[in-house]
Every structure is written in C-alpha cells, then in structure tokens.
Chains A and B, each alone.
Chain A
C-alpha cells in the first residue's frame, strides 16, 4: 500500500513533453546525504497585509520526524499548514516563496490542493472525528477519493497502524464521538493514514490529551515513521526531544514601533544538537526554559 515510491501526481493537467523541469526517474539524488521530501525557500505567510511568518527556509528529510517548536504566536502552525495548502481555506491568507514536495512546487497553479491533501495528511490539535461511526470516519477519505471496494481492509489496516484496532474492532459501527479523547486522536490518525499519504502533518496532536494518551501517540509516531515522513508542531519541548529526529526552532520577532509580531525561523538542526548544543543563543534560552 505504500505510495512513497510513486512519482508525484499532483498536477492534474499532464505536463507538456517539451521539457518541464521535473527530474527524470533514476536521476542522481540531490546533493544531500538524506532524501528530502520538502524544501522550503524564503516562505512568508500573509494574512491580508499582515505578515505572520517571514523567510522560512529549511528541508524536511524523508522518513524522519521533524518537530517545529517555539513560543506561542511564532507561526509554527501557520508554517505547518503551508505544506498541505490548508492556508488556502483562509480567505485572505497568502503564501510567498516556494515549497517543493519531491521536486514539485506545491503552489504551482497547476497543483490541485485536494490532491496535495491526499498525499500530505493532517492531524489536528483538537481530536476532530466526524459525527459518524468509527468505520465511516476511517473510510471517509477513501470514499471521497472514489473508492468503493476493499474499504474493510483499508479500515482494518489503518486502525491497526494507529494502534486502535484492538480497542474498537467489536464496535466499528458505534459513533466515534463515544471514544475517549486519546482514542479519538488515534482515530484521526487512522483516518489520515487511510488515504495512503506520504507525509503526516501533526498540529499539536497531544495538547488536548492526558500523559498516558500522549505516550501512546508518541509510541505510535515512532512505529509509523518508517512508512511516513512526519512533521509535528508541539508546545511541549520534552515531546520534541523525545520523538523527533530534527527540530526547527521558531520565535516571534516583535516590532514595538508598530506592535506587530512576525514568526521567524531561528535554526534547524538535529534534535540532539538543538537540545544540547544549539548554535543560536535564542534557541538555547528557549530550550533551557529561560524564555517562552
């Protein structure tokens, strides 16, 4: 079921044969030691004329967990939502700069955001199961994608991957709203997995959960990262240190003269380095608890 090796098919219209700049299969990989899923270059996000985040540039390596950390209002969720075009849903939001997903510009006008979201799934801050049965929640994505057969298998596999199958297999037709918060969040992960994505974006997935449910989700992330690339926004520095391989630290640049805050990326590095020996003083102050 893994789609990770397929070439991206985000663009609805077939690419003209006359030499678009897509790398041919079998071409030498980029000059990095790891495969890169996303590359962002000078990304800024505006809400109307207000610039919420500016000049974010970093790469997201494949099959790793990348954590985005930083104080409140530093724009980390905003950045995360750029990667599956969720910001498109906000009427006056605008993204500049470039984000490529496996070499394709996500904001190219030929890219269909609906297709993007099938490959780049999302788990939200508050568990948001649909007011439907457990089964219908997981089957929702495949169904809107037009799939009618084999749904039972998809539902079972997704629930197993999300470590929820054992708890719910005898009540798949019960309402998902009857599950506990932690179960609901794992159901949302199963729902995201069911469409066979390549990347999972998680926006503070544990902030509404108790420590035990949080630990289960963190274990789960470790189990599934061999199949998916994961980006997680978290307020919880211990969580970032526990689960992630690389960490990006953001902060808010406050301009007192016009009272605006703009999120900026301070540094990106291996999680170990960020938490033990960061290059930037601001990072050090944050991870040691001196501010934020």
Chain B
C-alpha cells in the first residue's frame, strides 16, 4: 500500500502540473474584437431603425390608415398624402418576379446541374451567370429600357404599355434571375449522392429521381434563396428609375389587385422613398413621410423573409 504522505505529495504534484498557468490573452483579445464587430453592426442597425421609427411617427402614429390609402401629393400637409401607389407597384413587382424569375431560374438551374454535360462550355456559362449576379442593378435598368420601353427588340413595349409596373416587374425579374439560378444550383448540388443512387438503384429514371428525390430535398434551399432574391428586387430603385417609375402625376388609386393597372404609369416604394427624401429639402414634412414609407417597406421585406423561414422549416421537417 502506498503511504498517505506520498499519496498526498503526488496528488499535489499532479494538481500543480495541470494548473492553469497563463491567461490566454491573445484568445481573449480576438474574442473581444469579434464581439466589437458584432456590436458595431447591431448598433448601426439599431440607430437606423430607431431614427426611422421616430421620424415616421408623424405619419404612422397619427394617420396610418389614411397614409396607406393616400396618393403621391406635392405638399406634405396634404391630407390625401399617402403610399398606396407605391405599395401597388411593389406588390406587383414582387408577384411578377415570383411568377417569371422563379420557374425560369429554377428550371435553368435544374438543367445546368442535372442534365447539362460538364465541359468547358457549361462552366463558361456558369461563370457568366455568377458574373451577371454581380452586375450593377442600373445596368439591368438599361436592359429593361431597351427591351420593354423602347421596343428595340420584338416590339415588347406594346405588350408592357411602356413605362409600367409590368415593365418594372419584368426588369427586376431579369435582375434576380442569375441569383435564383445560382442559389437553386447550390441547393441541387447539396443533395446527397446516396439519395440519387438509392433511387437509381431501384430502377427510377432520371426524371423520377429529380422529381421524387432531388427537388423535394433541395426545396428548402431553393425557397430561401428565391425569396431572399425577391426581397432584393422589392428594394431596388435604380432600375425602376430607368424604366420610368415616376413620383407624381399618377392617375387614380388602383385597387391593390387591379390587374388592369399593370400597364399604366407606376411607382414603387423605393422610388417613393427617394422622391420624398429629395422633397424634404423644400418641405420638411416629407421627412416623416419618407420615414413612414421606409417602415412600410421594411415590414414588407420582413414579411417575405419570415415567409421564407417558415416555409423552409416546413419543408425541412418534411424531408426529415
């Protein structure tokens, strides 16, 4: 038996040998820097949100319903001042983007990932799509201008009514198309090879593998990507300026779901925000109106992102 004394001594030696000797200063410093980065991000965002919310109280706090129902006016004190036309434009831009960009973009991604042979030509195409996703949005405005307004190709201006919500929606659909192709393509690439092999192994055709395994598995990823791209489209102003979104002299308020107004002159929330901010120089009351419009746009985008998250969770649950 070991004596108690030596037992105690060796225990003390072991305890000393595993004792913490120096503080991990560098690690601590690194962690602090990272925390600061996060803090700066959050602080900027908080300042933005708080100032906007405070500025907007004049409109949102006192006459929210009228503000949502009203139209573009030249004076901020006009009791009919409001956002309805901007909401109509943004809502329909979002819908048109969803209807046009999603099926085409997802379809292109399915072809590229699942059917197209891997060779120089297809990787050249892929690189180009990635580049297109980074092209400044104003360039897409020029595309919309040439294609949909000036009727330089196919005479599409007769169909779109020239400068209209339809033209704006199509332009922004073209803008987000590369993003949809890329995010969907990544979702397809993330489908485990084991799933595909399992399905092929029991005699599924390529189409059946894609329909029953690849698409359901990739659905959450596709959904997140596409809805985020829709949020981006709704926030764009520059391309809409080029396709002729205007900030005044619009006709009567169309109903939110009045499809006939799609080919009329239009505006959208980012345009309204820009224009009201510009006007606040001569008429201070527009500051509150612009802030209120920002709040509405933020709520709109937030709703879309929440929908994306909810739908993604549902699909993910489904895939197990």
A91–B193 alpha-carbon span in the complex (Å)? 14
Say which residue of B195, B200, B217 sits within 8 Å of A117 (CB atoms): B200
Query: Is the beta-carbon distance between B203 and A126 smaller than 8 angstroms?
Result: no
A128 and B195 contact, Cβ closer than 8 Å, known pairs A140-B212, A144-B205? yes
- Contact partner of B203 among A128, A141, A177, CB < 8 A? A141
Q: How many A residues are at the interface, by size bracket?
A: 20 to 34
The 8 Å CB contact of A144, one of B197, B204, B318, is B204
A131 touches B203 (CB 8 A): no
Give the residue name and chain of the A residue nearest to B320 (CB): A131
Chain A 120-164 near chain B by CB (<8 Å), digits 1 or 0: 011110101111100000001100110000000000000000000
- Write out the residue numbers on chain B whose beta carbons fall within 8 Å of the beta carbon of A262: none
Q: How far is the CA of A194 from the CA of B204 in the complex (A)?
A: 13
Report the separation of the CA atoms of residues A121 and B217 in the bound assembly, to the nearest whole angstrom.
23
List, in ascending order, chain B residues with CB within 8 A of A105's CB. none
Contact residues on B (Cβ < 8 Å of other chain), bracket? 20 to 34
Q: Are B201 and A84 in contact (CB under 8 A)?
A: yes
Nearest CB of A to B85, in Å: 46
Q: Is A270 an interface residue, CB under 8 A from the partner?
A: no
B194, CB-defined interface residue at 8 Å: yes
Q: Which residues of B contact A84 (CB under 8 A)?
A: 201
If A86-B197, A140-B212 touch, whether A115 touches B203 (CB-CB below 8 Å) is yes
Residues of A within 8 A of B320 (CB): 131-132, 175-177
The smallest beta-carbon distance between B65 and chain A, in angstroms, is 46
Contact of A141 among B202, B213, B217 (CB under 8 A): B202
Q: Is A68's CB within 8 Å of the partner chain B?
A: no
Residues of A within 8 A of B318 (CB): 131
CB of B314, distance to nearest CB on chain A (Å): 14
Residues of B within 8 Å of A141, CB to CB, are 202-204
Look across to chain B and name the residue whose beta carbon is closest to the beta carbon of A125.
Answer: B194
Pairs of residues from A and B, 5 with the lowest C-beta to C-beta distance, nearest first? A141-B202, A118-B203, A128-B194, A131-B320, A122-B201
Binding site for B on A (CB under 8 A): 84, 86, 89, 91, 114-115, 117-118, 121-124, 126, 128-132, 140-141, 144-145, 175-177, 188, 191-192, 194-195
**11 new A-B contacts at CB < 8 Å, known A131-B320, A144-B205:** A89-B197, A117-B201, A117-B203, A131-B319, A132-B320, A140-B202, A177-B320, A191-B198, A192-B202, A194-B202, A195-B203
27 A-B residue pairs with Cβ-Cβ distance under 8 Å, sorted by A, are A84-B201, A86-B197, A86-B200, A86-B201, A89-B197, A91-B117, A91-B118, A114-B203, A115-B203, A117-B200, A117-B202, A121-B202, A122-B197, A124-B201, A128-B194, A128-B198, A130-B199, A131-B195, A131-B319, A132-B320, A144-B202, A144-B205, A144-B212, A175-B320, A176-B320, A192-B201, A194-B202
